[in-house]
Amino acid sequence: MTVWTIGHGTRRVDELIELLTSQGIGRLTDVRTIPRSRHNPQFNRDRLPDDLARAGIAYVHMPGQGGLRRPRSDSVNLAWRNSGFRGYADYMQTEAFQANLDVLVRQAAGARTVIMCAATVPWRCHRSLLADALTV
């Protein structure tokens, strides 16, 4: 099973869909905690699912895999300088994260799946940590 990762960035929706269809993606799993963008409203949850559906791509929002996590006061992930990554690393050690990861794996077994957030480059996004968890 392979799970792809993409950041919508400032692309047009048709560009995103072209990238996804060129790879045979059947499901986009939105891993943004808040599925909207003030600067790129074409990727808001009230618009994106319909555009994807017209291209034959299912849309799933998984806020349980979303970023914007705060570090725990007793965090053991102190090597992370970025507090957002430290907070997500802390969250990855919870049962809730594992339960959501299990759901994502089951969904990905049924269709070629991409996880999407806003950041274009994955190393600036919690998707990089999520992708690591999927490979272990």
Q: DSSP string spanning 7-27?
A: E-TT--HHHHHHHHHHTT--E
pLDDT, residue 62, reads: 97
Mean pLDDT of 60-74: 96
- Kindly list the domain boundaries of the chain, sorted by start residue: 3-135
The yes-or-no verdict on residue 136 having pLDDT over 80 is no
pLDDT, residue 68, reads: 92
Q: How confident is the model at residue 20 (pLDDT cuts 50, 70, 90)?
A: very high
> pTM for this structure?
0.94
Q: How confident is the model at residue 23 (pLDDT cuts 50, 70, 90)?
A: very high
| Cα–Cα dist 99/87, whole Å | 18
Mean pLDDT of 108-125: 95
* Matching residue, tokens 């994260």: 97
Decide if 129 contacts 135 (C-beta within 8 A). no
Q: What is the CATH number of domain 3-135?
A: 3.90.190
Decide if 60 contacts 52 (C-beta within 8 A). no
pLDDT, residue 122, reads: 87
92-112 pLDDT, tens digit per residue, is 999 999 999 999 999 999 999
pLDDT, residue 128, reads: 96
Mean pLDDT of 69-90: 96
